[in-house]
Amino acid sequence: MERYDPESVLINRLKEGDKEAFEELVERYKEKCFALAYRFLGNPEDARDISQEAFAQVYLHIKDFRSESTFKTWFFKIIINLCRRQWQKRSVQSLDLYIDKEIDPLAQDDVELEVEQKELKRAIEGAVRRLPTKQREVFIMKHMEGMKISEISEVLNCAEGTVKMHLFRAVRALQEKLKGWR
């Protein structure tokens, strides 16, 4: 018995020209798209531009999607390629990552702790920003987007072993750069 996959149905409707299917797909992926672009570019305006361009690419090229991978990996590949072009085009030097670092509710009044956490966040952002491109991409997709190694491999069009190597090197480099932190 075949499993019902609502996303496949949605993609097929879009391939047939259903504009409501496109709107539904945009609604489903707009936050993920923006978040990924923002994490790479560090600028909300650039992330919005990339998001719009990514959805335009989906609309124009959905017939090229052959379902050999998931829509998510195909779409993320589009986003990452657009981010790479934007990065090169504007020589963006900043990558302000959103790192979800919760502050202990019992220590919220502790200004020293808050300052220390902000400093740590800046140190992590700076360390990630200085990683070589492939390591930075793999690290962001794995640890900030929660993607599987196999998905990253598809997005970057490389072997899973290569993804693991870049991830290992990124983590090792970050550990070295952040040695002074507890």
| Residue for token pair 């491999």 | 153
Q: Note the pLDDT of residue 149.
A: 93
Q: Note the pLDDT of residue 106.
A: 46
What pTM value is reported for the model?
A: 0.65
Domains of the chain: 7-96 (1.10.1740.10), 109-182 (1.10.10.10)
Region for residue 80 given its phi and psi (left: phi exceeds 0; alpha: psi -120 to 50; beta: otherwise)? alpha
Averaged pLDDT for residues 11-24: 92
Q: Which residues, in sequence order, are CB contacts of 53 under 8 Å at separation 6+?
A: 82
Range in 19-23, 97-101, 143-147, 173-177 the model is least confident about: 97-101
Q: Which of 20, 10, 127 is nearest to 143 (CA)?
A: 127
pLDDT digits (tens, 9 = 90+) for 42-84: 788 999 999 999 999 999 999 888 877 889 889 999 999 898 8
Mean of all residue pLDDT scores within the chain: 81
Q: Which of 155, 166, 97 is nearest to 127 (CA)?
A: 97
Calpha distance 135→56 (Å, rounded): 28
Averaged pLDDT for residues 111-132: 76
pLDDT band for position 88 (cuts 50, 70, 90): low
Q: Note the pLDDT of residue 28.
A: 94
